[in-house]
């Protein structure tokens, strides 16, 4: 029996109490620089995007709304002609390399045939059109990225083993530069083992973070052949038999399945690179598949842990409760358990146990290593029930969606918005500090307020 099967799993209401998945546009349009995102929905979708993405006023947006009016919903207008008119304007104004249609709840309800319309318009306009479903009926917050990447998987070129091996020593980095494999510290046998494998990583990360992970693997003589998504649509990595793929985010199960079943790639099942422990395990798993002996990883991890002492001293022995929102909960909880925290419950909107098998097993082993109780994992949690379950243990911190932050604060429970972890840089060795900065901020704030002596301050205020 697999280790993770001993973890306590529960499933509650089946509702997704999360951000809408169309919010994936916020980070994907910035990652894929030559893309344009067209969200097909109602004014409600437009209002959501306007508010959710309003913080990005300094970034030039490459997304728009195709708003469905009464005429569209009642089938009085021709969907194909309306979408053609909008896409013609996009091509004229922006000239993108690809237009990505994001289907919403409305398109699902009225049965709009986006997949049927797209190929016709693509041939007429001469611009690739990728269709991705990101409706809140079927998907939770970050699963919007999953559906987009799964759709883009079909647009990747076919892997040609003979051509790729000729240029295997030149690897295209996320910044467009070419890098040669490292020579120091490796035997010729290990280098030859690494040469015979093609590795593609999937998951949308900022270019700086992707470069860091590329560099960590390069130190092990493993070159990353490409990323899905790439910074430009025209640079999508070749896929096919003989290509190994590995994910960096736990919410990309649909993409992983598509890569295996449709493109015949070989999936490397590894814990996700969140925290120094997860990053080391992620690299070690890739090394084991490629037959490469890891070099200096334990020392690298120990060095990072030493740099985190000022944070771990704050949270050791503290308790935390995850309500469930962004599907990163298990990886973050595992890292915090390794830091010395007690996790009472991990709520998660959706989980593919096969795709997260390595992470679940790693989390179980981390609990046993740290002598911490194994937390309950609740899929699709009922938020009302969760709040009731918080009464008895009274955790020091709750990771929650924005809707429940203020009510929990009123009950004396410190909170942190889960959406902040989605937009923060949390992957890799060097970004572990950013995770702990987010987690400890509310705890440090309360400590600072307590040290200021509010009772004396109140007396002075009344006297004045």
Mean pLDDT of 324-328: 88
Is residue 5 pLDDT above 60, yes or no? no
Higher pLDDT, 106 or 54: 106
In contact, 160 and 166? CB cutoff 8 Å? no
* Local confidence band at 30 (pLDDT 50, 70, 90 cut-offs): confident
Q: How high is the pLDDT of residue 339?
A: 94
Q: How high is the pLDDT of residue 455?
A: 43
Is residue 83 pLDDT above 50, yes or no? yes
From 159-173, 261-275, 284-298, the region with the lowest mean pLDDT:
159-173
Higher pLDDT, 184 or 128: 128
> Topology of domain 161-295, per CATH?
Rossmann fold (3.40.50)
> Which CATH superfamily hosts domain 21-139?
Nitrogenase molybdenum iron protein domain (3.40.50.1980)
Mean pLDDT of 67-73: 59
Task: Give dist(CA 422, CA 428) in Å, integer.
Answer: 14
* Architecture in CATH for domain 301-451: 3-Layer(aba) Sandwich (3.40)
User: Residue 274 corresponds to which tokens in the numbers above?
Assistant: 């969140």
In contact, 265 and 246? CB cutoff 8 Å? no
Q: How high is the pLDDT of residue 302?
A: 94
pLDDT, mean over the chain: 83
Higher pLDDT, 205 or 51: 205
From 185-199, 396-410, 444-458, the region with the lowest mean pLDDT:
444-458
Q: How high is the pLDDT of residue 49?
A: 77
Find tokens 């969907």 and name the residue.
79
Q: How high is the pLDDT of residue 168?
A: 47
Is residue 226 pLDDT above 90, yes or no? yes
Mean pLDDT of 141-164: 87
Report the half-sphere exposure of 319 (CA within 13 A, side-chain side). 13
228-255 pLDDT tens trace:
999 999 999 999 999 999 999 999 999 9
Phi-psi region of 324 (alpha: psi -120 to 50; beta: other; left: phi over 0): left
Task: Give dist(CA 29, CA 167) in Å, integer.
Answer: 30
Equal CATH topology for 21-139 and 161-295: yes
Q: Quick count: other Cβ atoms within 10 Å of Cβ 63?
A: 18
Beta strand pairing call for 397-400 and 414-417: parallel
Q: How high is the pLDDT of residue 255?
A: 95
Q: How high is the pLDDT of residue 205?
A: 93
Q: How high is the pLDDT of residue 326?
A: 87
pTM across the whole model: 0.85
Beta strand pairing call for 98-103 and 198-202: unpaired
From 71-80, 178-187, 258-267, 359-368, the region with the lowest mean pLDDT:
178-187
Q: Would you list the domain boundaries of the chain?
A: 21-139, 161-295, 301-451
């Amino acid at each position: 029996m697999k280790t993770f099967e001993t973890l306590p799993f529960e499933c509650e209401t089946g509702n997704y109490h999360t951000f809408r998945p169309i919010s994936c546009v916020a980070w994907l349009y910035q990652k894929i620089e030559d893309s344009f995102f067209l969200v097909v929905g109602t004014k409600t979708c437009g209002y959501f995007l306007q508010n959710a993405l309003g913080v990005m006023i300094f970034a030039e947006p490459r997304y728009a709304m195709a708003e469905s009016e009464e005429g569209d919903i009642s089938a009085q207008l021709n969907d194909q002609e309306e979408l053609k008119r909008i896409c013609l304007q996009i091509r004229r104004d922006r000239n993108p390399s690809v237009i990505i249609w994001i289907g919403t709840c409305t398109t699902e309800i009225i049965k709009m045939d986006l997949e049927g319309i797209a190929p016709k318009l693509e041939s007429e306009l001469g611009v690739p059109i990728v269709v991705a479903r990101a409706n809140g009926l079927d998907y939770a917050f970050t699963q919007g990225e999953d559906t987009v990447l799964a759709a883009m998987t079909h647009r990747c070129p076919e892997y040609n083993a003979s051509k790729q091996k000729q240029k295997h020593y030149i690897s295209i980095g996320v910044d467009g530069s070419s890098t040669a494999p490292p020579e120091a510290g490796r035997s010729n046998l290990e280098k030859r083992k690494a040469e015979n494998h093609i590795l593609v990583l999937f998951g949308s990360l900022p270019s700086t973070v992707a470069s860091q992970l590329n560099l960590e693997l390069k130190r092990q003589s493993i070159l990353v052949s490409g990323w899905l998504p790439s910074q430009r649509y025209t640079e999508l990595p070749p896929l096919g038999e003989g290509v190994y793929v590995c994910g960096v985010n736990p919410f990309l199960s649909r993409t992983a399945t598509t890569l295996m079943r449709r493109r015949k790639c070989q999936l490397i099942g590894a814990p996700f690179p969140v925290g120094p422990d997860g990053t080391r395990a992620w690299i070690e798993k890739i090394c084991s598949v490629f037959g490469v002996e890891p070099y200096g990883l334990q020392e690298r991890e120990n060095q990072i842990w030493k740099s985190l002492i000022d944070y771990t001293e704050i949270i050791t022995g503290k308790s935390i409760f995850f309500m469930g929102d962004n599907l990163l909960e298990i990886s973050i909880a595992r890292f915090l358990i390794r830091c010395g925290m007690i996790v009472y419950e991990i709520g998660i909107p959706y989980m593919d146990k096969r795709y997260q098998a390595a992470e679940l097993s790693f989390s179980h082993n981390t609990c046993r290593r740290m002598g911490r109780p194994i937390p309950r994992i609740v899929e699709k949690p009922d938020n009302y029930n969760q709040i009731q379950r918080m009464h008895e243990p009274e955790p020091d911190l709750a990771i929650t969606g924005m809707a429940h932050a203020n009510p929990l604060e009123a009950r004396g429970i410190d909170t942190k918005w889960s959406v902040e972890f989605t937009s923060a840089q949390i992957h890799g060795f060097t970004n572990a500090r950013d995770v702990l900065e987010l987690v400890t901020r509310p705890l440090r704030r309360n400590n600072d307020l307590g040290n200021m002596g509010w009772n004396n301050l109140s007396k002075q205020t009344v006297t004045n």
